[in-house]
Amino acid sequence: MPIARPETSDARVIAHVDMDCFYVQVEQRRQPELRGLPTAVVQYNEWQGGGLIAVSYEARKCGVKRSMRGDEAKAACPEIQLVQVPVARGKADLNTYRSAGSEVVSILAQSGKCERASIDEVYLDLTDAAESMLADAPPESLDSIDEEALKSHILGMSRNEGDDFKESVRDWICRKDADRRDKLLGCGMIIVAELRKQVLKETEFSCSAGIAHNKMLAKLASGMNKPAQQTVVPYSAVQELLSSLPIKKMKQLGGKLGTSLQTDMGVNTVGDLLQFSEAKLQEHWGTNTGTWLWNIARGISGEEVQGRLLPKSHGSGKTFPGPRALKSLSNVQHWLNQLSEELSERLSSDLDQNKRIASTLTLHASAFKSKDSDSHKKFPSKSCPLRYGVTKIQEDAFNLFQAALREYMGPFGIKPQGNKQETWRITGLSVSASKIVDIPSGTSSIMRYFQSQSTVPSCSADRCVQEYVEITPSASEGCSEQRSIETQAAMSEEDISTHYTENIDPVPEKFPCQDFSCQSNEATPFQTQSESSKGTQRKTQSESSKGTQMKRIGRKINSSKEKSQGMPSIVDIFKNYIATPQSKQETEEDSTVPSTSKRNNFSSRSSHSSEVNQEVGERKETKWGYKIDEIDQSVFDELPEEIQLELRSFMRPNKRPNAGKSKGDGSASSIAHYFPPLKR
Ligand code: TTP
């Protein structure tokens, strides 16, 4: 079946750049004596040598895998060097890795529109650069082509036996009769090879890349030849690439949707999707998902590279597996305090460096009940407007937790049932701050913003307080333990003195559930949130040239921090802000923010969103609402359940309660019903 070529965006040059065994490289740069040796980065705890989270390619050759623990890795490869991740507040501290990722981003961002997709991966839109090269200095006019570009893997490139590999690549790049789109890809290969060399030279990190006409194909290609290599997907190779690609390997099909396609329709590879018409796919999955599936089967994706160098959210999380599960409110509160402290630090630094504020605080937890038939019930995520200040975040996070716990335990959790008391166990906790926007420029709007913030806390806290007045037995038992000394004492035995495994905060967006109609099994929501979102702590050059006011604000935060227990609320910050006579000048300074930076921040604003409040000026009556296109898919899992449900039904209209009726038999349980059996 011929592949329909995309009408639009078919002449784009998109690169996906992915660092090789990233944490290992960061550690090897810090300790150069480790270079070339089989090395792995492990979580900080000692149990069985800690869990491996990054493995060097030398160690991979000896059979070491990320899923192993340190002891297992040593058994497989006795000479392996294990490096522990830095630790802060009893959990992994990923700041070093975030900063290292930012170094790479600041180099790549000079080449074109750049989107930081996770702690160690970036998308680049190199169309303009490739167009310019093709117009001014096409590859065939060059005296020589860089060796690194000549080492590229070109999918589907035919080569006669005995042909020199690099010569074949050169011929492909310089083909006079080539399709213009492939000529652009040829230019992209040269540009990306150059960029990768520059990254290596300036940061000492090697990376791999995929070059194609869209993000989806570029990402697929970047992982095909690692480490330190690049892979190109010409149009002619798309069909072959997708025809054998397992459906679950496709981004957004790793979860329920992918499973359903497999089990209900016998779709095992992306290519298998080609046999269904768009109408058929839409009939069952709804207009959007149906069209999306039809497109991806043909390698078509209109997803644009977002000009975004800064994270869309910040978060901090930790897991407490097995016997380490938390079972009292005091322990939960202890860890929420730690996580909130880290989150607050990051928010403060974002505010200071980038003039950005977050407005939604979300608590997410995973739990199970000890005596429960309903143990699969999901612990609800809870969100509220975010108040700045460590103690406020801690307070709100704990309130959110208690509200969620009450919902989780249900009415029978509140009152003892005979002798049986339901108990809960918490196996993961995370707090995240999302809906990050630039501080509105102009004194009056800033004022409105912070004034509205000042009304929010009572709203948020009151609401939560009311919700947790009545709580489960175990929760109320914990309520009486809220004094800090007792809290410390209570938590020490369970969580500190014993070793536990921590699922290190991995990289957001690399492992998130991004599919409305599926729950990705690639990672837990904690993992997604906890790395806090591809945290670009380090600002880029253009960002650093932003006005001085926020530095001033940052200093106020810090000095206040010294005086009180936590940062002042953002309202206090603002009081200081408007008290200063330089407001006007500062407003003007703000308007001089470099355009790239503004553009990036704008993208960040427009691309991000989870729960959406009413306009900031109307926050007194905080009402949760949202716009579909403002929902950030990566935090979908963290949204209140009712929003998730609503969104799902919106995205998949045929799955709405009455949808089955239109199909005649009223049952829409199996999608196999809508399709003829596969001819295999
Ligand atoms: P990856 O890019 O998935 O892996 P990698 O860079 O280590 O190796 P590769 O060359 O195969 O791409 O992850 C980037 C970093 O994120 C990784 O070095 C460590 C961290 N990470 C975690 O902390 N936990 C995880 O579960 C994963 C997958 C990664």
Candidates 624, 642, 569; CA nearest to 384 is 624
Stretch (H or E) spanning 235: helix 235-243
Least confident of 460-469, 543-552, 588-597: 588-597
Cα 415–chain centre separation: 39
Q: How confident is the model at residue 680 (pLDDT cuts 50, 70, 90)?
A: very low
Q: Which of 104-118, 133-147, 554-568, 631-645 has the lowest mean pLDDT?
A: 554-568
The conformational region for residue 43 under phi > 0 = left, psi -120 to 50 = alpha, else beta, is: beta
More confident residue, 418 or 468: 418
Which of 17, 19, 69 is the best mutation target for the ligand 1 pocket, counting ligand atoms within 8 Å of the beta carbon and taking the most?
Answer: 19
- Is the CB of residue 17 below 6 angstroms from any atom belonging to ligand 1? no
| Domain 314-411+422-440, classified CATH 3.40.50.10860, yes or no | no
pLDDT at 618 over 90: no
How far does residue 130's CA lie from ligand 1's centre (Å)? Answer: 30
What is the predicted pLDDT for the residue at 234? 95
- pLDDT bin (cut points 50, 70, 90) of residue 617 is very low
- For residue 53, the CA-to-ligand 1 centroid distance in Å is 7
The CATH fold assigned to 20-92 is: MutS, DNA mismatch repair protein, domain I (3.40.1170)
For the ranges 42-56, 160-174, 186-200, 587-601, the maximum mean pLDDT occurs at 186-200
Instruction: Give the residue, out of 16, 18, 19, 22, with the most ligand 1 atoms within 8 A of its beta carbon, to mutate for a pocket test.
Output: 22
pLDDT band at 67 (very low <50, low <70, confident <90, very high): confident
Q: Where are the domains of the chain?
A: 20-92, 245-300, 314-411+422-440
Answer whether 226 contacts ligand 1 (Cβ < 6 A): yes
| 472 has a pLDDT exceeding 90 | no
Average pLDDT of the chain to the nearest whole number: 70
39-42 and 382-385 strand pairing: unpaired
Top-tier CATH class for 245-300: mainly alpha
Q: Which atom of ligand 1 is nearest to the CA of 24?
A: 18
Q: Is residue 75 pLDDT above 80, yes or no?
A: yes
Question: What are the backbone angles phi and psi of residue 294, rounded to the nearest 5°?
Answer: -60, -40
Atom of ligand 1 nearest to the CA of 510: 3
236, pLDDT greater than 70: yes
Of the candidates 282, 222, 159, the one whose C-alpha atom is nearest the C-alpha of residue 671 is: 282
Give the model's pLDDT for residue 251: 81
Report whether residue 100 contacts ligand 1, using a CB cutoff of 6 Å: no
Pairing of strands 39-42, 52-55: antiparallel
The percent of residues in the chain predicted with pLDDT above 90, rounded, is: 46
SS3 of 294-351? HHHHCCCCCCCCCCECCCCCEEEEEECCHHHCECCHHHHHHHHHHHHHHHHHHHHHHH
Angle (CA) 131 135 137, round 5°: 105
N-terminal to C-terminal alpha carbon distance within the chain: 15
For residue 81, pLDDT beyond 50: yes
Comparing C-alpha atoms, which of 496, 482, 464, 393 is closest to residue 622?
Answer: 464
Which range has the worst mean pLDDT, 46-50, 174-178, 641-645? Answer: 641-645
Which is more confidently placed, 461 or 364? 364
CA triple 601-604-608, angle to 5 deg: 150
- What is the per-residue pLDDT across 386-438, written as a single tens digit (0 to 9) for each? 999 999 999 999 999 999 999 998 876 645 445 566 789 999 999 999 999 98
- Residue 121 is a catalytic residue: yes
Which one is catalytic: 115, 121, 481, 611? 121
For residue 18, the CA-to-ligand 1 centroid distance in Å is 10
CA of 653 to the centre of ligand 1 (A): 36
The full DSSP string for 578-645 is HHSTTHHHHHHHHHTS-HHHHHHHHHHHHH--SSBPSPGGGGGG---B--GGG--GGGGGGS-HHHHH
CB of residue 502 inside a 6 A radius of ligand 1: no
Is the shortest distance between the CB of 130 and ligand 1 below 6 Å?
Answer: no
> What is the CA(51)–ligand 1 centre distance, in A?
13
Query: What pLDDT score does 632 carry?
Result: 41
In 12-104, the DSSP E strands lie at 14-19, 39-42, 52-55, 81-84, 87-88, 91-92
Give the CA distances from residue 305 to residues 107, 117, 292, 481, in Å, rounded to whole numbers and listed in that order: 17, 10, 17, 49
CA pair distance 601, 615, nearest whole angstrom? 19
Ligand 1 center from residue 54 Cα (angstroms): 6
Tell me, what's the pLDDT at 383? 96
Q: Flag whether pLDDT at 145 surpasses 90.
A: yes
Contact 506 CB / ligand 1 (< 6 Å) = yes
Mean pLDDT value of segment 471-480: 29
Cβ(53) – ligand 1 distance below 6 Å: yes
Better-scored residue on pLDDT, 301 or 612 = 301
- Please tell me if the CB atom of residue 19 comes closer than 6 angstroms to any atom of ligand 1: yes
Label residue 180 by pLDDT band (50, 70, 90): very high
Ligand 1 neighbour 58 (Cβ under 6 A)? no
Q: What is the pLDDT of residue 55?
A: 97
Alpha-carbon span 269 to 680, nearest angstrom: 13
Pairing of strands 14-19, 382-385: unpaired
